[in-house]
Amino acid sequence: MGLIVQKYGGSSVADAEGLKRVASRIVATKKAGHQVAVVVSAMGDTTDGLIELAEQVSPMPNGRELDMLLTAGERISMALLAMAIGNLGHEARSFTGSQAGVLTTSAHGKARIIDVKPGRIVEALNDGAIAIVAGFQGVNQDTNDVTTLGRGGSDTTAVALAAALEADVCEIYTDVDGVYTADPRIVPTARKLNSVTYEEMLELAASGAKVLHLRCVEYARRYDLPIHVRSSFSNLEGTWVVKDHPEGANMEQAIISGVAHDKSEAKITIVGVPDRTGVAARIFQTIADTDINIDMIVQNVSAASTGLTDISFTLPKSDGLEATTILKAIQGEIGFHSLQYDDQIGKLSLVGAGMRSHPGVTATFFACLAEAGLNIEMISTSEIRISVIVREIDLEKGVKAAHTAFNLDGEDEAIVYSGTGR
């Protein structure tokens, strides 16, 4: 008998059938003798529908009100899920983020969890009930205003709640069987990983693997909470995200855990930047001040004859317009020639704790990409990751080539239950 926190995403509860299927799974876990707390997202595309309505009444909706609006989504799914469980003869009680004690910062739309005080959840569990908690939302502890956590928020709610409840495991249900060596839609022979470390999962998430969000993995690592990523459509074991690979698994652990790719970034090149101390700092400080996250940076060697250099960096496509606007505003002050914006790039990353002790990884990686005819435009590395920027059109070819070069191909085709790849 243990305490299990389960999280179900929007695609798992998209309609009445999905809600009933999820209710059955929850009841099965309860019947197996566990205490169960469940975190649920809004149904299907509810959130998108609400955002559309907001845009219709106001082009720049107030953050507090937008959060009030969006939190209606999980309110609907959690109440329906509790009813569906009730219909199976088990007691379930639903709780908003506020009722579940999810205390956050005041940043509407991207609040961070400060603390979780799950008194009412503990009470429900002790009463023998199943607790259903709204994902993605919390309450500003100073103003009592409702907040949302931003992208990946429901995963983070689940992990934070599990940590606060000292749960044995946090199960994240999705529509694939776990974490794969590559996106199965691109590499049909991708293998499901039985385990990945927090470290590897962080690099995979940061490299574009969408199965778990960065913040949720960071939270789990901090509290050393095991995450089990698995499918809500099957009963197969999924992927365990843990501190260390389990004994035995270590022996056969590959050098590389997976190949990740990301098409969400764009590249900005600032042409003809005066090569003086402080200029680059001034540029990146200006961008940082607007909360835009820069990923990779390359500064070309200055041409001695001109004293000018080019600086390129990558950033989310969604921030492209804002960043170019800001840079144009300081063009006179900095004195650069021009800006180039390129949103046809793709990022290809190789992640694996094994590469620490295998110096040949980089060489093999670059060789296989060259053989596939790919041109590498930018490179960045960490101790357990190598990322390169290539043309977006070449990205899938590169994923396949790297997957094969590092012997990651499995024997069977991967199982994907829906087209979303989540």
CB-CB contact of 191 with 409 (8 Å):
yes
**Which of the stretches 52-60, 178-186, 222-230, 326-334 binds a copy of itself when contact is defined by CB under 8 A?**
52-60
**CA quadruple 157, 158, 161, 166: dihedral sign:** negative
Please report how close the Cβ of residue 35 comes to a copy of itself at its closest, in angstroms.
Answer: 20
- What are the beta bridge partners of residue 269? 312, 340
Is the Cβ of residue 93 or residue 267 nearer to a copy of itself in the bound state? 93
b or e along 69-88 (b: 16 or more beta carbons within 10 Å of the residue's beta carbon)? bbbebbeebbebbbebbeee
Whether 239 and 228 have beta carbons less than 8 Å apart is answered as: yes
Question: Should residue 62 be labelled a site residue for a copy of itself when binding is judged by CB under 8 A?
Answer: yes
By three-state DSSP, how is residue 72 classified? Answer: helix
Nearest distance from C-beta of residue 315 to a copy of itself, angstroms? 29
Task: Find the shortest distance in angstroms from Cβ 234 to a copy of itself.
Answer: 22
Q: Specify the residue, 64 or 185, whose C-beta has the smaller distance to a copy of itself.
A: 64
* Closest distance of CB 49 from a copy of itself, Å: 10
Q: ∠ CA 129-130-131 to the nearest 5 degrees? A: 110
CB of 66 or CB of 172, closer to a copy of itself: 66
Binding map of a copy of itself across residues 132-171, x = CB under 8 A, - = no contact: ------------x---------------------------
Q: How many CB atoms are closer than 10 A to CB 208?
A: 19
Q: Of 130 and 268, which has the nearer Cβ to a copy of itself?
A: 130
Q: Which of 36, 66, 255, 323 binds a copy of itself (CB under 8 A)?
A: 66
Q: Which of residues 70-129 bind a copy of itself (CB under 8 A)?
A: 71-73, 75-76, 78-84, 86-87, 92-94, 99
Measured between alpha carbons, how far is 294 from 284 in angstroms, rounded to an integer? Answer: 9
| 3-class DSSP state of 105 | coil
Q: Say whether 320 sits in a helix, a strand or coil.
A: helix
| Residues forming the site for a copy of itself (CB under 8 A) | 16, 19-20, 23, 50, 53-54, 56-62, 64-66, 68-69, 71-73, 75-76, 78-84, 86-87, 92-94, 99, 144
